Structure 1
């Protein structure tokens, strides 16, 4: 079939069009292929970028299916990405240890469901099971272009390193907060005031102690008011001092006084610059330390003043071995100059100076000796030595190490003590020899009853063995030995009582003991000043016999005295009765009862009466003298006026005065001299003294009788201007004695006037005193109470 040109043209056009369409299709396919390859490369690049990205996507669809890269499975510790969200719990898949924990998965599921419903984003942090990896999850509603239908897109970030740093930072921050809180609490609880100042020096923070110290209401009010604790010193305030510390960037410490609770206290204030932040400060109350320092200084001064008063030398060396103190005795003992404390020497140099002065003992190797003494500083206990110096001085040296590393050196001069010790030893030996030479037995007992000392006489008197006494027996053992030698063994208890009384009761006790051999021992316990007791024993056998003889003789004397008393009583009767009879008959004869008498007879009768009167007076005198010497003179007690008594005595002797050519002056007042006594015997005593004055005064002489009051007593003075007497003659006159005619013997005076007068005056409690000088006369002074 033949085609027309039109058909051919159409067919050609169709073929050309098909060819062109095929060419276009080929070109388009190639272009699409190239775009697909480019998209694929871009997708791979994006996928690779996603894989390398620190954040991995997790797409969760509404039905719970998930899409995620394998890398997320690796992060979660899973072998592959599960299909559903609930399968992220690795335990449900293979029972392994990967995946999320049930609590984390439940929290993630709830957050995804809430985001799918409300489009609310969420954030959470999870840690896979068995891993230290920290994953941050940030979820939001997925774009419809990514996944239509309300899927949730969760981006997972691996921030393990950041989390470690964050955890560390959080821990450090928590620790810093805790430390800061503790520091703030410590500052608040600190007993010392503390504060902080800003860069301008103003207060920004104070603690409670600061508030209490300034008496503020609270810390905020104190900071607001800018109340300063420290007062201005030398025109500088506490703020200015703090600014100086901040400018110098150096801490400033000073001691100032401040008023706290109404009392002035010493404070050690420190300002510490803290860079550009400000200045911190605190104040330490050192008032107690200052007080202790003052007390210590006062104690040290008092101690050194006391040490200066000691007789022992005391020196102190510090830890550097330098002399810090030496009292006066120490300087004197070691011949130190007074200026030694201006430049105090070291210990070794001190020993050198002492050696030069000859105040240390001689040593063959002095350097070694000195080093050994320097070791005293390191000793753990006190060291003591005796130094014998070349001049005979003996020193006792005590080196006491001190806790601060120093040394106290004590030097005591014991030269005198050693001399006294030698003297004491000599005295002890002398005492022992003296004890052994005594006729008296001596033993010394201690308070516990043990015998300490005894002499040989003690062992001989009690018949004790020396071997027994050498054991220093106790009093109980001694009494057992003594009891065997006593006539009555029970008497040994009295010896023990004497020892116990002397040692324990501190009282003196005496007693006697009769031995079986007839001897008598007298003992006495005497307390000694040292607390011991002395037992003295004396053999009084001979004196006992002499005492018995004296008792017998005394009994004989008493019998003789009784006989004398009876004799005096009988003599008084026997003498007076005949004399009275003679006087009575003579008076009868004189009265003419026997007839008229001749003139010569009357003279005889008158002579008889005169003799009777004189004999009566002599008998009275003898009786009074005898009774006075025997102590049996009876005295009447009546009021006696002495002046009338003296007047009568003078008047009775007027004839004698006239016959002797004597002049008598009587002086006195009637109101003087009223005493209580025996009128008759006082008249006899004064009459005898007056008669003695009349007898001793030559013709033409003068006698003075004076009565006066002296110191509440009556004084009678009878004086004459006779020849007087010397001392021996005056003494014999008072005793009624005189020298014999040949001047070689002493015999009884013919008269008993002065001895009787003295006895009568002394019987009245008075006193008779004779005063006489040869050629000056004699004066008798009579004092009567």
Structure 2
């Protein structure tokens, strides 16, 4: 009886224990169901973000794609063809894509491991042939598989906005920007590069992109390399200043349009060539010195005039070295001492630098040079060496002839004076100065001077009428009372160029024409006798 009681108690305890364990298990099962529902709900919410990037093509035309795949195609700039856009994005990341796609017909499935780009993980692409010309392409990130990584929405938006800004800036810039790998294959390019590449390629543009320019290779440790390169597009040549910068095993290339700079340099070069040809034909020696007074430009006439060696001039000597060399060649004025000569050359340099300056050098060899200094922009100075020996000789000869003519005129006893057509007094001789005093500057002043020294009479009025044109029947000769009261004859001779020569002579030299004027002579004789 007691045993049965204990059995009932044990049975009740076991039933209670089982009930408690069942209740605990149920509760745990219920909590697990709720947690699983929450995880599934969260997974449903995250599913669009964690969807794989899958493309489905039929004969290279997009049939279907996942949301991330469509978002990728919408962000790729380029042609409207989806297959070309996918190639543009995949090409830089998966080398020899076309060769791998040719094997798909034999293998049915290929897995391609992509390159590891800067700041991104290595991608993996799986291509499957589904038959009926269907091609399934899946792009995955092996490091992100089953990771469930979710980016903060605000950070993602900020990164997308910055990425869009950078993409638009690079696509709108007029310069060509692209990236090359270690094998010099183009792995990325901006819109300007793509447009130039499309214009040069017949048909569709594939990857890797063609190289348009012969770009410089960056030197390790030297930073950026620069080179100017030309792009020939159907006979139209465009010039670019190419800059290369290495980033890891990739090289970023920047090509800035340089057409304006090339045109300016070509114009400057042609202008310099024109000036050089002009300077070469000048008989004047030219030497241009920069602000440090080093010789920068000279012409052949400088060598001919000074005898300076060509090798000396091409070595770009300084101004004072050139002057010292000229002194050695005895092509400068012989100075009293070296110090005074040095000071004279220093004065020449300073005067030429501040303004127009000219000197005449009488050389020991008998030549005469005119040295002219002119300031140039940016502190430069130019010197011109001109041989004026013949000019100086001609001037001296002309002056000697003038002096001889003056001496001949002074040796004539008659008083002579010549007037220009405008009445200006040109020349006179010593006899004229002795008779009338200093020469008057004009004909009118001379007439007043004569009238002041003599009393007006018939002979003088006839002279006045002849010189001023006051009478139509004016005579070319006559007689009048001279300053000393004696009889004085005069005659007017017309010279070439409208000039007039007036001659005063004594009674013994009076010509027959004057003596024939009996009335005038009688009046003059009476006037003289009365005195």
TM value normalised by structure 2: 0.48
TM value normalised by structure 1: 0.35
